Structure 1
Amino acid sequence: MMLYGRGTELAELDQVLAAACAGESRALVLRGEAGIGKSTLLAEVVERARGSGMTILRATGAEGERDLAFAGLLQLLRPVADRAEQLPGPQADAVRAALGTGSAREHDRFLTGLAVLSLLAEVAEDGPVLVLIDDAQWLDEQSTQALQFAARRLAAEGVAMVFATRDDERYAGAGLPELALSRLRDEDALALLAGLDVPAEARIRLLAEADGNPLALAEFAAAAGREGGGLPGSVMTPVPAADRVLARFRARIAGLPERTRLMLLFAAAEAQGVISYLLPAAESLGVGLADLAEAEAQGLVEVAGGRVTFRHPLVRTAAYLGAPMARRVAVHQALAATSTDPDCTAGHRAAAAMGPDEDVAAELEAYAQRTLDRGGTASAAATYAQAARLTPDPAERARRLTAGAWAAQQSGHAEQAASLAERAYPMTADPVERAELAYIRSFWFFEKDEPVEGGRLLLDHGPDATPRRAAAMLRTAGTYGWFGGDAATLCRAAELLEKHGDGSAADAAVRGLALIADEDYERGLPLVAGLLDPVPADGHARLFAISLSSLLADDAVLPLITEEIERARVDGLIGRLPYLLHVQARLQLYAGRHRDAEATAAEGAAIARDTGLRARMERLDNLLARIAAIAGDEDRVRSLVTDSLTADGNYGRTAWALLDLGLGRYEAALTRLEEARTGSVRHSAALLFAAADQVEAAVRLGAPDRAVEPARRFAAWAAASGRPWAQAVALRNEALLTDTTDPYERAVKLHAEGSPASGRPFEQARTELLYGEHLRRARRRADAREQLRSALAAFERLDAAPWAERARAELRATGETLASERAAAPALVDRLTPQELQVTRLAAEGVSSREIAARLFLSPRTVEYHLYKAYPKLGIANRRELAGLDLSG
């Protein structure tokens, strides 16, 4: 095969193949307009991969299969489906569901992607693997989502993945490396035309007409030859080359015998091109396989391997759109009548329907339900919507639109779900059904950062819902009001729950939130704490309890978090993990386990990135920014933080303020926190805990009047919480404002009462630093040194550089001579990347590589790669030596 002008692209693709052959994994997205040569380039890649002994798995998206759940994976994985039996149980179930041999109605929508990753890694145990996806823009959404997830988590499996997609289609490469195919340069285009034996005098005219598009060059050259040197169209025609090629294909097909055109239409309408499916329907209209001979002779199709394959997707499009509507309807009716697959039957009957038809709509609904049972939520949503369009009765249409909206919500498409719900709303007057639709729409308001609108929608419709749904809607309205800073919605939700709730601890917690928003911590906090005593058994209630646990600043929730994370890992609930890991990382940060918090947050961020959960990525970044702020790393804070007057933005602003405080920029710290309190979300946990920073900044700035309100607020919360560390910080605030010794003494004692699990080492060290400064000013130097040494040791352990320097300066001021400050040797865990740390810790516990891979959503070979990289950093040679190392954070 001769390729012109693609040397650079082939070199890059060769690197992808070479990496896979060397045991690494790479992914690449090829982008380009129709006819630019993507498929030709992929064919060359296949030949080179065969020459390297690679296993090749291929799939090609088809426009007609866009709504067939997992159609792409079925093509791709059919040759290796038997290897799924080697996967962990939930992953094996997900593969079987995708391939139509099992049910996975309840599985996490990202689990299939993990299963694909594991399956490809399993196949790669026998040698390098090349995965090729052509026309990715037409792949069904479930397959696209699964393959992109796998591609983003490839590491050391020996798998190369190449996606080819059009520029003009809505296909997101999801952060994968991309290679854009440009049009051919004139010299390359002329060389291509010379290779096609185009006369020299015609080449310049063809060159201008084709505009560097290889398919256009080839097609126009062939047309010029067939038409005796005539050119298709005018050089001045302002139409894209691909559109002109489509017009040429339609013209060529129009010139074929009628029977051939009909047979091509059958092949185009039956998306898979399987001859055994086509022939019974074709014969019912009097045509057969022999009628494709002329199309074969002209190179429009290839008939081999039991399939009819079009030379290019534009040929399929031309064959279908070029036929009269009546002919297309007849073909779909024939395919429906002869199909033995109920899903195909439903699809063809729908394509043939010329107006509302309850029988066809019912078939589509059953098809959507089967798709849903296989985990194909996105395709099910589209099929329910199609069924609704064909439904004559408005009430039934609304019911099917509602089912489609729920399926879209399950697939993670809140906007599509809201759109379907909005269409259904005016079709029903039933208040219960309208409440259900309002519930669906509310999720989109929250997703697009308009929780106030979502909360009010729920308040308007929640009382009309069924009793169970009403309670859930009103609780959701309350949390939207909390996160959106809408105290009125929060209070109204609490009031309505008195009448429409179920009397649960969750209802009481919403009342608690309303009280906390009004700074009535004494009555509010116990109601929120009731969510955890006892721990709810229901999964949603447990998540609600976890989400509000930050208000309690209680490490007692840590076992619940650990349990839920383990459950999510075992069950493959990937989409839930970024949130759970975020909460765990926050608790680790509070406990002074910064390295563990970084590793946990890094895993959560990676999963959030791979699953497209951008909002969660921002929240995890804000948490990492707090660690960087404690370390005094301004560049890292700047790269991570979100600084806005929103609930999430408050975490970013408090991180910035803590950095400013540590660096002695007291006015900046105080201004930041005061501005945040003017925002709508003034009651957030982030701002509540930052009140102590506000107090210290104000006092150090010489403006104690600006510290009174935050000191009062924090003291009220600390008293209601009953947490020793919080009461200690409240006493520290009092000591700062009064410049007296007694509050400091009581604060230090309270810090000492806290257990390592429930203490706050950073806050304790800050109290000791401030107390030491106070004692030094009172000329009690010996007592000051005791506090300052303890503070310095803690700050150094926490890598809190600016705070440690302040402690050193105070110690020097007491007259203590410090030893030369040599950088301490880093702890073992500091030598490892976050993922290496996770892997080595599990390996040290005796967990096998396969089990580690299942827990961390990696492949076993990637686990071994991380261990291989970690051993030299730890000064050991093998897994057995891990057991003797201190890998604590």
Structure 2
Amino acid sequence: MLYGRTTEQERLERLVAGARAGRSGALLVRGEAGIGKTALLDWLAGTAVRDDGEDGRPLRVLRVTGIEPEADLAFGGLVQLLWPVQDRLDALPGPQAAALRAVLGTGQERGPDRFLTGLAVLTVLADLADDGPVLCLVDDAQWLDQATAEALLFAARRLAAEGVAMVLAGRDDGFTAPGIPELRLNRLDFEDSSRLLAERGAAPALRSQIIAASAGNPLALIEFDSARREQQYQHDPLPVADRVLSGFRSQIGRLPERTRLMMLIAAAEARGDLPMLLRASELLGVDLGDLEEAERNGLLYVMDGIVTFRHPLIASATYQGAVLARRIAVHRALADAAEDPDCRARHLLAVANGPDQEIALELAAAAGRARDRTAYAAASGLYRHAARIAADHRQRAAWLTEAATLALAAGHTSQADRLAGEADELTDEPAVGARVASVRAAVAFELGDRREAARGLLARAGDTATAETAGLLRTAAAYGWLAGDGETVRAAAGRLAAGDCADPLVEGLERLCEDDAEHGLPLLARFLEGGLDASAGPGADGQAVRMLALTCGLVLGDDAAALELASAEVRRCRSEALIGELPYALDILTRVQLLTGHHRDAEAGVAEAEEIARGTGMRRRLARLGGVRARIAAIEGDARRVREIAEATPEALRTGVDCAHVLLDLGLGDFEAALTRLDPPPPGPDRYTWLSLSTAADQIEAAVRLGRPERAEEAMRHFENWARAGAAAAPWAQAVVLRCRALLGDRPEDYTQALRLHEKGGRPFERARTELLYGEWLRRARRRNEARGVLRSALATFESLRAEPWMRRAAAELQATGEHRVSARMPADNPIDRLTPQELQVVRLAKDGSSSREIAAQLFLSPRTVEHHLYKAYPKLGVGSRQELVLLDLT
């Protein structure tokens, strides 16, 4: 019987009812120790299993419990969860099956992406739900190892229509689950506490004392009632949980010594593995019979080959109440009894209290195994412990460096920086120093200080490039470029050249820092000839340079090449299940899609990138994605949406939104704001971002509209130099230059030449702007018949892009030419506009013939969620099957 939990029980019942109806959901139950989280999960498991639901299909329960001593053991929790259902792995897509086999130790060791395991867990749960609803219960989540926690939370956030309910229970401290709804358990009030005590037979005269001492904590109520004749609880100033712990220690202290030792073995082993406990107990001279007193007192029980403490606090009291020498002896016996090398390493860790090279090597081997399974946090901790007891300083530095690298990979930036600093003090070896510098720079970059990241690498690399430092200098140039730090780019290029390690990428960036687009852009084009493989320089930060490789396509203005490169990178991430890298590739792809007029695709890509970024903790990536949304809103004239995006974007990352604001000002006719909102970027990297290049034309038009063409001279010179260097690849850019010249010089022949270049393809929004300006000029020159043709074309493009302020301008100009019945109107309702971004992605892949499982693998969803999206999309599109999708135009 649970008292005072009616509201909580109803909420959990609704969650399970949703799973029975095919709707998935997750919930985090949070509360202090002893508040009744486990009791609530036990109740839910019991009631859910007894009720088969209306369809008669049984509900399957999977359970996992976090174990405090195993918090640093890679995937310890996930092994608990998946071991009973490992037969399902054969049905998974190849990369997912490989990832889980690595977790379970039954297949290859290395996985390609640390988030792939979470996707595989999602797919397993969805497959199980095909046979009936699934209830996944996670207790003591605060003690899960990070790799397990990441996998479960990734799956929980992407549950949709599988028929899976996931309930996680954890203490107030030590476990967070952003994006998962919470249910907080409060202490029992006086009435419910009295009812609980009455059921236990407590005398009415004692109930008030017990309730006051327990403060409504259910475990404290039960334990204080059991010991109600002992008054130490009544006036003890300790917190309730500590008083309960103290009571357990007293109770354990009265047991025979052999019983206490056997309990200590069980507490130190933690998993309840009876065969291992018996092997260790034999080494220490005790046996299973010595647990009898503990069982008789209700402190633990043995069932089905598992030893289980009645409450985790009893295990804690057992372990904490033992002297250090006894704990070390127990862990030594457990290490000797262990058959699993990772389990042995965990116990050896508790044994080592000083330099011990033999144990250090075992810990490092365990760390390597955890790293190869992408359990980066666990691997980092094991390398850190190995370094702590290593006898050799060079080995200690190497292991600390590896620990720092893996801490960074796990998202623990401050810890990575601290470990790298410790390693830096222990060695002057160039190779180790280069890795340390890379980690510290990556930390600074991730925290937003790109300039500091670049200069830190530069300082470490020395005055001349060597084999060890060439990669550092290349990454320093990449960071410097992205930070707008031209000085660092120049210094890196100079040192590479001095060491005969010249690099076309860095040399090209250096030329652009000197405003030498004529020579800089061809070098970047040469760099891109090898595609994204060119980014894998020795010792370089691959992610930073790969991002720069994708960005180069935008800098060159070659939209077709940029689209091809970014699309290929997105396909690579999908095919290899590189979930953590996909948001970066989508970031670039959506920018190109925006520039090429595919706004719907760009919005779908941003939505997907944002969802993955939220699920994987990439908060800064979320902020960067706002630039694409803001520019679409600016084109559509939605000032409120642009303002909301600006308010949600950190100031340091607001350049993209500010550039969008310039376009919004121009479209709404606020030319003064458009001209002055952004200062012209100084010579250097900032001039060559995709947004700065686009904004140059906006500010030129605003200056001319205000009658201050001199304010546009610098922007015009820069834009023209850039477009001239990339003219062969970007005819649209030459067309925009001609449009700007026509504005500045009132030369109609420049308009006509610009339109001929626009016919070669490129950015439709820019073509329509050229048509609008030329139509305005023709109308003013009283060449109304000619004006109508280009204005109609401009209006049609603006309508297709939903560019409302530009539609109004084009319609007004058409009316001024004498055209009747002109009205700016949004495009006719397109069925695909009714779809959500994810529905659009799903139906397009389904139209191409991909199965639900194939679509799920590409979009990192479950097959059931894919089917759900198709079911929702069919009526919106007016079709009833996949076969009918083939007949639709979904572009």
Which residue number in structure 2 is paired with residue 351 of structure 1? Answer: 350
What does 1:495-574 correspond to in 2, within 5 Å? Answer: 495-500=494-499, 502-503=501-502, 507-535=503-531, 537=533, 540=536, 544-554=548-558, 555-574=560-579
TM-score when scaled to structure 2?
Answer: 0.95
Where in structure 2 are the equivalents of 1:4-43 lying within 5 Å? Answer: 4-43=3-42
Which of 110, 123, 130 in structure 1 is aligned with 2:135? 130
Distance 1:674 1:263, change over 3 A: same
CA 1:432–1:96 in structure 2 vs 1: closer, same or farther (change >3 Å)? closer
Tell me how far apart the structure 1 counterparts of residues 501 and 197 of structure 2 sit (CA, whole Å): 77
What's 2:233 paired with? Answer: 233
How far the C-alpha of 1:788 sits from its partner, in A, is 1.2
Cα distance in structure 2, aligned partners of 1:424 and 1:719: 49
Q: Return the offset for 1:5.
A: 1.0
Q: Does 1:718 align with 2:717?
A: no
In 2 relative to 1, CA 137–787 (structure 1 residues): closer, same or farther, beyond 3 Å?
same
| 1:282-681 equivalent positions in 2, closer than 5 A | 282-463=281-462, 467-500=466-499, 502-503=501-502, 507-535=503-531, 537=533, 540=536, 544-554=548-558, 555-641=560-646, 648-674=653-679, 681=686
2:148 to 143, 148, 155: 143
- How far does the alpha carbon of each residue in 1:317-339 deviate from its partner, in whole angstroms, 9 at most, with x for none? 11101111111111111112222
The corresponding residue for 1:101 is 106
CA separation of 1:241 and 1:675: change in aligned 2, threshold 3 A: farther
> Conserved in 2, the CA contact under 8 Å of 1:435 and 1:465?
no
Per-residue CA deviations over 1:720-753 (Å, capped at 9, x if unaligned) read 111211111112222222333232222222212x
Task: Kindly provide the CA deviation profile for residues 799-849 of structure 1, in whole angstroms up to 9, marking residues without a partner as x.
Answer: 111110111111112221125666543112112111111111111122211
Which secondary structure does the structure 2 equivalent of 1:574 belong to?
coil
- Distance in 1 (CA, whole Å) between partners of 2:573 and 2:208 is 63
SS at match of 1:788: helix
Q: State how far apart, in whole Å, the 1-side matches of 2:688 and 2:888 are.
A: 44
- Deviation, 1:760, is 0.5
1:117 alignment partner in structure 2: 122
Matched residue SS, 2:227: helix
Q: Secondary structure at the match of 2:28?
A: strand
Give the partner amino acid of 1:77.
Answer: L
What is the TM-score with the length of structure 1 in the denominator?
0.95
Aligned to 1:203: 207
Counterparts of 2:508 and 2:111, CA distance in 1: 33
Out of 757, 763, 766, the residue aligned to residue 763 of structure 1 is 766
CA 1:215–1:536 in 2, change beyond 3 Å: closer, same or farther?
A: closer
How far apart are 1:640 and its partner, in Å?
2.7
Alignment equivalent of 1:776, drawn from 771, 775, 779? 779
Change (3 A) 1:476 1:460: same
Aligned residue in 2 for 1:739: 746
Matching residue within 864, 868, 871 for 1:868 = 871
Which aligned segments of 4 or more residues in structure 1 are displaced greater than 6 angstroms? 642-647, 675-680
Inter-partner Cα distance in structure 2 for 1:388 and 1:381:
11
> CA separation of 1:770/1:686 partners in 2, compared to 1, >3 Å: closer, same or farther?
same
Q: Which residue of 1 aligns with 2:543?
A: none
1:38 is displaced (CA, Å) by 0.6
1:261–1:497: structure 2 CA closer, same or farther, 3 Å change rule? same
CA contact (8 A) 1:483 1:647 kept: no
Contact 1:765 1:791 in 2 (8 A): yes
Give distance in 1, aligned partners of 2:584 and 2:425.
36
Q: Runs of 5+ in structure 2 lacking a partner?
A: 53-57, 538-545
Does the CA-based 8 Å contact 1:104-1:375 persist in structure 2?
Answer: no
CA displacement 1:528-559 (0-9 Å, x = unmatched): 11112243545636654223222112122322
Bigger mean CA offset, 705-714 vs 590-599: 705-714
Amino acid at match of 1:879: R
Write the distance in 2 (CA, Å) between the matches of 1:848 and 1:601.
24
Amino acid at match of 2:39: T
For 2:316 and 2:104, the matched residues in 1 are separated by: 27
Amino acid at match of 2:787: A
Identity of aligned residues (%): 53
Call closer, same or farther: CA 1:205–1:627 in 2, change over 3 Å.
same
Q: What RMSD over aligned residues (CA atoms) do the two structures have, in Å?
A: 2.1
Superposition deviation, residue 501 in structure 1: 6.2
Are the structure 2 counterparts of residues 57 and 421 from structure 1 closer, same or farther at C-alpha, using a change threshold of 3 Å?
A: same
Amino acid at match of 2:659: T
Moved more, 269-278 or 548-557: 548-557
Does the 8 A contact of 1:246 with 1:314 survive in 2?
Answer: yes
1: CA distance between counterparts of 2:489 and 2:406? Answer: 29
CA distance in 1, matches of 2:619, 2:395: 36
Question: Secondary structure at 2:173's aligned position in 1?
Answer: coil
- Distance change (3 Å), C-alpha of 1:641 and 1:676: farther
Q: Say whether the 8 Å CA contact 1:609–1:617 is kept in structure 2.
A: yes
Structure 1 residue corresponding to 2:833, chosen from 830, 835, 840: 830
Contact 2:845/2:855 (8 A) holds in 1: yes
Aligned partners of 1:664 and 1:744: how far apart in 2?
22
What CA distance in whole angstroms lies between the structure 2 residues aligned with 1:310 and 1:113? 30
The answer to whether residue 693 in structure 2 is matched with residue 688 in structure 1 is yes
Contact kept in structure 2, 1:463 and 1:500, CA below 8 Å: no
Contact 1:108 1:572 in 2 (8 A): yes
Residues 1:729 and 1:645: Cα distance change in structure 2 (over 3 Å): farther
Distance 2:109 2:705 in 1: 60
Q: Is the 8 A contact 2:513 2:684 kept in 1?
A: no
Q: Distance in 1 between matches of 2:265 and 2:515?
A: 70
Q: Alpha-carbon deviations, 1:97-130, whole Å to 9, x = none?
A: 0111122425111111111111111111111001
The residue type paired with residue 223 of structure 2 is: E
Q: Alpha-carbon deviation of 1:371?
A: 2.0
Structure-2 separation of matches of 1:313 and 1:645: 43
Pair 1:677–1:456, CA change in 2 (3 A): closer
Q: Which residue identity does 1:232 align to in structure 2? A: Q
Could you tell me which amino acid in structure 1 is paired with residue 206 of structure 2? Answer: A
Deviations 1:676-704 (CA, angstroms, capped at 9, x unpaired): 76999565332222111111222223333
Q: Report how far residue 240 of structure 1 moved.
A: 2.3
Q: Deviations over 1:759-809 (max 9, x none)?
A: 100011111111112222222222222221111000001111111011111
Structure-2 separation of matches of 1:823 and 1:629: 16
One-letter code aligned to 2:797: A
The 8 Å contact of residues 303 and 309 in structure 1, kept in 2 or not, is answered as: yes
Judged with a 3 Å threshold, the aligned counterparts in structure 2 of structure 1 residues 212 and 705 are, in CA distance, closer, same or farther, namely farther
Q: Is the 8 A contact 2:138 2:167 kept in 1?
A: yes
CA 1:426/1:766 → structure 2, altered by over 3 Å: closer, same or farther? same
Q: Deviations over 1:458-488 (max 9, x none)?
A: 1122249995542221111001111112211
Q: Tell me if the contact between 1:432 and 1:466 (Cα under 8 Å) persists in the aligned partners.
A: no
Q: 1:427 aligns to what SS in structure 2?
A: coil
Partner residue, 1:802: 805
Quote the offset at 1:437 in angstroms.
Answer: 1.1
User: What is the CA–CA distance in structure 2 between the aligned matches of 1:667 and 1:162, rounded to whole Å?
Assistant: 55
Q: Aligned with 1:674: secondary structure?
A: coil
Q: Find the aligned partners of 1:296 and 1:839 in 2 and give their Cα distance.
A: 56
- Are positions 1:55 and 2:55 aligned together? no
Contact 1:650–1:676 (CA under 8 A) maintained in structure 2: no
